[in-house]
Copies of this chain bind each other. A is one copy, B any other.
Amino acid sequence: MKIIINPIGTIHSPYPDPEGVPIQGVFAKNIRGRVEVFPEFAEGLVDLEGFSHIILIYYLHQVKGYALRCKPFLDTQEHGVFATRAPRRPNPIGISVVRLLGINDNILDIEGVDIVEGTPLLDIKPYVSDFDVRKDIKNGWYQHAGNRVQIVADNRFIQTEQKKG
């Protein structure tokens, strides 16, 4: 079964390349960006402005291939890729919870951006505390990971063909 997806917009950020991007939105609290929703989908944004946070679902377009085990940025040990948020996944789909600052027509101003410039947007959902906030969380390896200092990405998930010459 092959599923065909057409982006509904483009995410704009200060990060032209994967290297240097904050690895999660919590490490990018003051980083602002914009979401450009293609005009034909703008009507779907009605009433989104009442939500303080939104979930962006996007395609990690600069990622090629995947590895089933990897060493994530926040640990010195390898884990299965589904136990990490690393980008080189069988389906390189990313999700980010960002703060919604405002909407003008088809443009969303957002904050907390851990996304590369030009990333294709697949969907937007409102972040709803009743649906998305869980308590009594057990955070697996992350809870005990020793190496938490690296909060921006290096080039470990970038394939050779994507490196700049």
Task: Please give 17 more A-B residue pairs, beta carbons under 8 A apart, in addition to A4-B4, A44-B68, A50-B139.
Answer: A3-B4, A3-B59, A24-B131, A25-B131, A41-B82, A43-B68, A46-B69, A48-B83, A49-B140, A50-B83, A50-B141, A52-B137, A52-B138, A53-B134, A127-B137, A130-B139, A132-B134
A7 / chain B contacts, CB cutoff of 8 Å: 1, 3
16 examples of A-B residue contacts, CB within 8 angstroms: A1-B7, A5-B91, A44-B90, A47-B140, A47-B141, A48-B83, A50-B140, A51-B138, A52-B137, A53-B134, A85-B128, A127-B137, A128-B137, A128-B142, A129-B134, A130-B142
A21 / chain B contacts, CB cutoff of 8 Å: none
Q: What are the interface flags for A103-123 relative to B under an 8 Å C-beta threshold, 1 for contact and 0 otherwise?
A: 000000000000000001011
Known A-B contacts A69-B43, A134-B97, A134-B133; the reply to A126 vs B83 at CB < 8 A is yes
